[in-house]
Structure 1
């Protein structure tokens, strides 16, 4: 018996990186998993590896897509018990060169997308006696500032604020709401950031990765599996009283 038997988890950004790691660990604990993303191929490839999983193609910045996403997930596995709002983007630019388009995209995916995801599934998660779970994947950028990613920091701070507000509002229903805040993590998103640094500075991609890793207090990149393990714990019965927290996974204080 798994700790999440008979539970249904919806994971946005579920095809790669942290989202894929979370989907795997939740499925391993017995949950049915709905994998959501904009690219069909990685979603279907991962779903084929898991015992009870389906792929849902959706753009979480679109209200209609989020409504259809929840309907498709429910049709595949029944009402949703767990929402993992993980999808995100992390473009970078100096503050003075941050265009309105970059700002709106970053806020749209990371913050508005999280809002639309959760709101669309809220009736399922808060239904009677479910002990539902909502977990936002934020970032240490939601707890402190970083240079050249002001839009990303603003969005992730917003995610943490939204999680804290929801945690108070939903506490009487038995639903817990938390944010997980990884430091620099070894994902395709980080690889893209390293390539960007490499292109702008002439350093190798490995040197760029090492520079990013130094920001984590223990001097190495976080693994997606470390983030996924924390999410699994938050979704387990043992975490019934963990609510409204922003948990840094960074090898030290954020």
Structure 2
């Protein structure tokens, strides 16, 4: 099924992990893709594989963001959807007062810059356009040592609610996804940190993490990609301003 034939979708952080899975799913359903990320080499490989357009972009730099979205619209036409997936993770770092700033500037302010730029280049007409933001379960729960990351991801939920209200008259739907543990490099780095904290192995850390997940398993990047595809489809025409929790039952509030 090619539900997104002819639709131009921009995916940030599209070179690895969840972003790569999202790009693969949307390409399989016919979307024209522009992929943005800082790691241009990985990004180029994915773009070649999917027949997508790739551009290096540091979302912390608003001028780069504006230029990247203008170039995307010029190359592939007006944008129908943005999937804002770029971000950095990890705990607070002792002795680095600027760590909080880095996390918020990348995850929250960078995402806002992308949404702002995308809206300027969205396709016109009555059909819904979309912004989907990838947040985190840490927007919902408190984990010691992850103050900056949690704050940045929680801020995204406020951003989504506000943008949804502001942009609804223009038929622009804005939603978030809050994944829990997902089988990505970033997640395994987090488990390595947990292993160090508990004085155990990576396997010990995995078992400890899964104790708090009722389904008892990690999610896969493709799971999140499926939710993104649903949010961009006509099946979700009435959904805006929402945060979809996708964490194996670890948060049910």
Number of corresponding residues:
251
Q: CA deviation at 1:127?
A: 3.1
Counterpart contact for 1:126–1:173, Cα < 8 Å: no
What SS is found at the alignment partner of 1:135? strand
Q: How far is 1:130 from its partner? A: 4.2
Structure 1 vs Structure 2 CA RMSD: 1.7
Alignment partners' CA distance in 2, 1:13 and 1:98: 28
- TM-score between the two structures when normalised by the length of structure 1: 0.93
SS at match of 1:92: coil
Question: Equivalent residue for 1:26?
Answer: 26
1:210, distance to aligned residue in structure 2 (A): 2.9
**Consecutive unaligned residues in structure 2, runs of 5 or more:** none
Residue 179 of structure 1 corresponds to: 176
Corresponding residue number in structure 2 for 1:56: 55
> How far apart are the structure 2 equivalents of 1:71 and 1:55?
13
Cα displacement (A) at 1:141 = 1.2
- Per mean C-alpha deviation after superposition, the further-off stretch among 214-223 and 99-108 is 214-223
Maintained 8 Å contact 1:63/1:116: yes
Q: Which residue of 2 aligns with 1:158?
A: 155
Cα pair 1:126 1:175 within 8 Å, conserved: no
- For residues 21-68 of structure 1, the C-alpha deviation after alignment (integer angstroms, 9 at most, x for no partner) is 1011111111011111101111111111114x1111000011011011
Q: What is the CA-CA distance between 1:87 and the residue it aligns to?
A: 0.8
The answer on whether the counterparts of 1:164 and 1:177 sit within 8 Å (CA) in structure 2 is yes
1:142–1:156 CA contact under 8 A, matched in 2: yes
1:74-112 superposed Cα distances (whole Å, 9 cap, x missing partner): 233111111011111112138xx4742110011011101
Instruction: Name which of structure 1's ranges 185-194 and 16-25 shifts more when overlaid on structure 2.
Output: 185-194
Alignment of 1:7-26 (within 5 A): 7-26=7-26
Asked if structure 2 preserves the Cα contact closer than 8 Å seen for 1:142 and 1:157, the reply is yes
